[in-house]
A and B are shown apart, each in its own frame.
Chain A
Amino acid sequence: MTLASSDTAEPQAPPRGTGRLSGRVLGLVIAVAVLAIAVFLSLALGARQVDLSSVIGAIFDPQSGDTNQMVIRDLRVPRTIIGLVAGAALALAGAVVQGLTRNPLADPGLLGVNAGASLFVVLGITFFGVSSAFGQVWFAFAGAAAATVVVYLVSSGRSGPTPVALTLAGSAVTAALTSIITLVLLGNLDTLNQFRFWAVGSLVGRSLDSLAVFGPFVLVGAVLALSLGRTLNVLSLGEDVARGLGGHVGRARVLASVAVVLLCGSATALAGPIVFVGLVVPHIARRFVGADYRWVLAYSLVLGPTLLVLADVVGRLVLAPAELEAGLVVAFIGAPVMIALVRSKRLGVL
């Protein structure tokens, strides 16, 4: 890179060719179309057979007495919306964490951030009797923040940890927090009963009221994350280079951490500790747009919800009429992807 001769101080700018740009925009349009199809499938498919006219009717021409429409409006619409919000939040958080730690295997779930949120929610339910979504959100944020601090401390050494070290640290944090969660649950049957359904990562049984609580936080986190694209591009050059280019490394790290806490805390409180969405989605995005974080983030915003909503649909169909939780389906997709990533190349630093 011939930065010295360049008058724009913008490192790692994508090629300015309009062909590349229009290709990326076109790809994004296609991704949105796929997302729309996923949403439609989520409304149309399930244990109860519903014909097409009911799906369209439920949205555009609501009838109060129609059972099919009620199934769609009261059951499938909420879980779809929650899937959309949680999927977007987790995918964006994953992209930000991968940029922040320069680690291709980073995922908020793998790093223990979800486990932190889980622990604090459990503590809230058990010791403070918090059952409302509005109460849980603060516990979820506090837990996500605490776990993020641990991850931050581990990752802020002089040269930064290797992917193995960081992933191991996250896994160890998860093990420690899970152990404490188990201790709390063991003595408390009611909390266990609430927790076990939430802990597998399900989109079912959450009311849209909780969305009104978490929605604004996700929105702020998402806007923050999307605005970090250029910063993450600078950070990806390495801390010293980033500093040399005039980047505020410390401020960037703090902003990125705030975005991760907001997104993960909300998503975990909404849908449970879902792992692997944040790992898989940014990698799929990179396949299409390369390493430029501005585009990776934009694609993640669309692909994340697609993955989670489709996982929920698959979970409804494979064991019908019983259901497999979306979080478990994502794990069955995500773990092989992670294994393939580990096998495919020498893991460098992003």
Chain B
Amino acid sequence: MATVATRPETSAESSVVRARRLGRRRAAIVSGVLALLVLAVAATALSVGAYVVSLPDLLATLAGVGEPRDEFIVLTLRLPRILLGMLAGLSFALAGGLFQSLLGNPLASPDIIGISHGASAAAVAALLIFGLSGLAVAGAAFVGAVVVATAIYLLAWRSGLTGYRFVLIGIATAFLVQGILGYLLTRADVRDAQAALLWLVGSLSGARWDDILLLGGALAVLVPLVAILAPRLRVLQLGDQSAAGLGLAVQPSRLALLAVAVGLTAVATAAVGPIAFVAFVSAPIARRMVGGLALLPTALVGTLLVVASDFIAQHLLPGDVQVPVGIITGAVGAPYLLWLLATTNRSGAVR
């Protein structure tokens, strides 16, 4: 194809092919750089801390031939936290990207249209009313997200599903669930309420291998499903009529994609709590760099975002303060979102 580029009489078709090739190469380069960044941050987070593990020691430990002390610090204390953060970031980002593409709006991420709210309310109810902890709270969060998503889907269904009905009914549900959440917080002791608030921020502390195995297992099912369904999503983005004209079963495809996106949101929220704005910002950032659906870059941006934010939350704050990761993503994401809203409307991004 290199010869095509040199020929001036390139036909329209081959210029499309060339543009695609360039796009694909660009996506590959961006993904590679993002992956390297993730690795670099993860390696730094593994070695830096109250006790510093040098890079050779770190590699030896990861290869299984390190000293017992390094092994304990790296494999038992630091690695679970980073792995959980990576998996959660990937999961949130993919979920956000799927929702935004499916519903045709860069603002329509699960943390805005009620799915995360459902998980939060259920988890807080489990914490405050039933006094549950650990895995039971995660289970409640998962169930909450799925129940709310199902309710939104059924309420929005009216001889078919359209994006705008799903979004608007999701928002109505979000405000309703937010009210219930507030009610639950007023009924508890203020210290319990604070603990619940901590869960609502999203945190990686106390990461255990059990959590990682659960989340990893769920992702081992969900991520291949995303890969299988991605071509359908590309066709759906042409609009319902065109998609149907191309022979796609529109409603079943949309339901399948929504189900996968809800699943991703639910498992990630159950594992680490609703870490703010990762689902919201990852896909727009990735698409600004690559264009198109950009699912792989999206997942990598989400991973990088969570791991880097957690590193900042752990090590880089003034006065050696350590905070949950959601504080950092929230503190960065909220102003970014407001800025995005205030500036991009004229260019028609918010439609």
Contact = CB atoms under 8 A, between A and B. Distances in A.
Interface of A: 105, 109-110, 149-150, 153-154, 156-158, 161-165, 167-169, 171-173, 175-180, 182-183, 185-186, 189, 192-193, 196-197, 199-201, 275-276, 324-325, 327-328, 331-332, 334-335, 338-339, 342-343, 347
B197 A110 contact: no
B115 to A, nearest CB: 12
Given A153-B345, A186-B327, A192-B190, A179 B179 contact: no
Contacts of B175: 109-110, 171, 275-276, 331, 334-335
A163 B155 CA distance: 18
B208 interface: no
Given A327-B179, A328-B179, A150 B172 contact: no
Contacts of A328: 179-180, 182-183
Interface string B92-120: 00000000000001011001110000000
Contacts of A172: 107, 112, 280, 337, 341
Interface stretch (B67-75, B163-171, B260-268, B303-311): B163-171
Interface in B150-179: 155-156, 158, 163-165, 167-169, 171-176, 178-179
Interface of B: 105, 107-108, 111-113, 155-156, 158, 163-165, 167-169, 171-176, 178-180, 182-183, 185-186, 190-191, 193-194, 197-198, 200-201, 276-277, 280, 327, 330-331, 333-335, 337-338, 341-343, 345-346, 348, 350-351
Given A192-B193, A197-B186, 6 more contacts: A153-B342, A164-B164, A176-B277, A189-B191, A196-B190, A200-B183
Contacts of B171: 110, 167-168, 171
A166 to B, nearest CB: 9
A113 to B, nearest CB: 13
A335 B172 contact: yes
A341 B194 CA distance: 37
Which of B163, B176, B343 counts the most chain A CB atoms within 10 A?
B176
Contacts of A342: 156, 165, 168-169, 172
A175 B277 CA distance: 9
B165 A196 contact: no
A192 B196 CA distance: 12
A161 B341 CA distance: 12
Given A154-B342, A165-B351, A342-B169, A183 B179 contact: no
A335 B176 contact: yes
B193 A338 contact: no
A157 B348 CA distance: 8
A342 B333 CA distance: 29
Contacts of B197: 182, 185-186, 192
**Secondary structure type dominating chain B contacts:** helix
B104 to A, nearest CB: 9
Contacts of A162: 164, 351
Nearest to A179: B330
B341 A154 contact: yes
Contacts of B182: 196, 199-200, 327-328
A347 B172 CA distance: 15
B86 to A, nearest CB: 22
A328 B350 CA distance: 30
Contacts of A149: 342
B186 A164 contact: no
Contact of B338 (A168, A176, A334): A176
17 contacts: A149-B342, A153-B341, A154-B342, A162-B164, A168-B112, A173-B341, A175-B280, A176-B277, A177-B334, A179-B333, A183-B330, A186-B198, A196-B185, A328-B179, A332-B176, A339-B172, A342-B168
A171 B341 contact: no
Contacts of B191: 189
A232 to B, nearest CB: 22
Nearest to A153: B342
Nearest to A185: B197
Contacts of B155: 339, 343
A186 B112 contact: no
Question: Which 4 residue pairs across A and B have the least CB separation, nearest first?
Answer: A176-B334, A335-B176, A331-B179, A179-B330
